[in-house]
């Protein structure tokens, strides 16, 4: 089956709190910037009843990206091959060209799923371990995946390199793509005292196929929590604009997972993503092949 057209522009996470409003929206002008939607396959596999109807409705109108939650690429448990085979069929059934997952782990051998994204040690051993699991994932799915840089709050006890060096080493070793979360870059830069612009300067543009943008909660002056429950702040918008300038325009999704306001308010941030992309689309030198 041929895959859907290229994922591009600005998108929105398909949260259940927004589904009815999106399906009932009669004012097309409010949806002018919405080019694609994202869902977590764990929440939609084998959907039945009204959920199947909703999924079909969106699949007929928008390209879809799948962003996984529980693969635990860095975890000690063997990869869930049965789950990946389900994901593979789901991607084919709905012509979904892109599947991304977190560069972290969320399970252990004794307690199963932890329901949190925990950081990996930034070591050569961890690079080889997680890269092998990414390659295995790509072999099962028979397509490339993109890994997302994650936010974290306590550094792993053993590290041999900084975060961006670790990410780049994994990308090279696994030969996979990067899902660049701009808010996570900003959150980590505050929590661990590094320059987020310097971080972006070291990101390999050719690997970036997708992006996320979100709000966060400021717990303390030097502690940010990646809640996806607030509006995006100006420094994060500025960092996104810098990313487009230096890496090219990549499809970017707004995440809003809690404290969700009315649809019109959410869509104003989707509009702003699209507006930031426009000035950079005129420069052919910045156009990088994206997911197709």
Q: What is the DSSP letter of 43?
A: G
pLDDT at 120: 86
Q: Which two tokens stand for residue 101?
A: 């997952």
pLDDT at 283: 53
Three-class SS state of 111: coil
213 strand-pairing partners: 254
Topology at the third CATH level for domain 15-279? TIM Barrel (3.20.20)
How far is 249 from 119, CA to CA, in rounded Å? Answer: 28
Kindly state the helix (H) or strand (E) to which residue 61 belongs, with its residue range. Answer: helix 49-61
How far is 225 from 220, CA to CA, in rounded Å? Answer: 9
- Entry pTM: 0.91
Separate counts of helices (H) and strands (E) for the chain: 9, 12
pLDDT at 282: 66
pLDDT at 159: 82
Q: Which two tokens stand for residue 274?
A: 């699209």
| Predicted confidence pLDDT, tens digits, the chain (292 residues) | 233 347 999 999 999 999 999 999 989 899 999 999 999 999 999 889 999 999 999 999 999 999 999 898 988 889 999 999 999 999 999 999 999 999 987 645 445 445 556 778 999 999 999 999 999 999 999 999 999 999 988 777 678 999 999 999 999 999 999 999 999 999 999 999 999 999 999 999 999 999 999 998 888 888 888 888 899 999 999 999 999 999 999 999 999 999 999 999 999 999 999 999 999 986 543 444 444 4
pLDDT at 190: 95
pLDDT at 75: 86
- The domain ranges of the chain are 15-279
Q: Which two tokens stand for residue 266?
A: 């959410």
């Amino acid at each position: 089956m041929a895959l859907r057209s290229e994922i591009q522009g600005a998108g929105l996470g398909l949260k259940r709190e927004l589904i009815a409003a999106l399906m009932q929206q009669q004012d097309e002008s409010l949806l002018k910037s919405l080019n694609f939607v994202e869902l977590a396959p764990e929440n939609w596999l084998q959907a039945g009843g009204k959920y199947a109807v909703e999924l079909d409705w969106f699949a007929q109108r928008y390209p879809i990206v799948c962003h996984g939650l529980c693969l635990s690429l860095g975890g000690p448990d063997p990869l869930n091959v049965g789950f990946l085979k389900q994901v593979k069929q789901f991607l084919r059934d709905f012509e979904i060209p892109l599947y991304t997952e977190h560069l972290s782990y969320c399970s252990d051998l004794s307690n199963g799923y932890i329901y949190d994204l925990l950081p990996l040690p930034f070591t050569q051993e961890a690079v080889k371990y997680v890269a092998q699991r990414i390659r295995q994932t790509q072999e099962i799915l028979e397509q490339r995946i993109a890994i997302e840089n994650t936010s974290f709050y306590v550094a792993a006890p053993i590290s041999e390199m900084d975060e961006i060096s670790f990410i780049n080493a994994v990308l090279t070793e696994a030969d996979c793509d990067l899902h660049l979360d701009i808010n996570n870059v900003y959150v980590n830069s505050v929590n661990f005292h590094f320059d987020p612009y310097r971080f972006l300067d070291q990101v390999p543009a050719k690997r970036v196929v997708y992006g996320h943008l979100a709000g966060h909660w400021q717990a303390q002056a030097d502690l940010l929590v990646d809640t996806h429950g607030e509006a995006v702040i100006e420094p994060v918008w500025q960092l996104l604009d810098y990313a487009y300038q230096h890496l090219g325009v990549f499809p970017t999704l707004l995440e809003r997972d809690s404290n969700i306001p009315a649809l019109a308010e959410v869509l104003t941030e989707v509009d702003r993503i699209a507006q930031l992309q426009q000035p950079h689309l005129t420069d052919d030198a910045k156009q990088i092949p994206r997911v197709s």
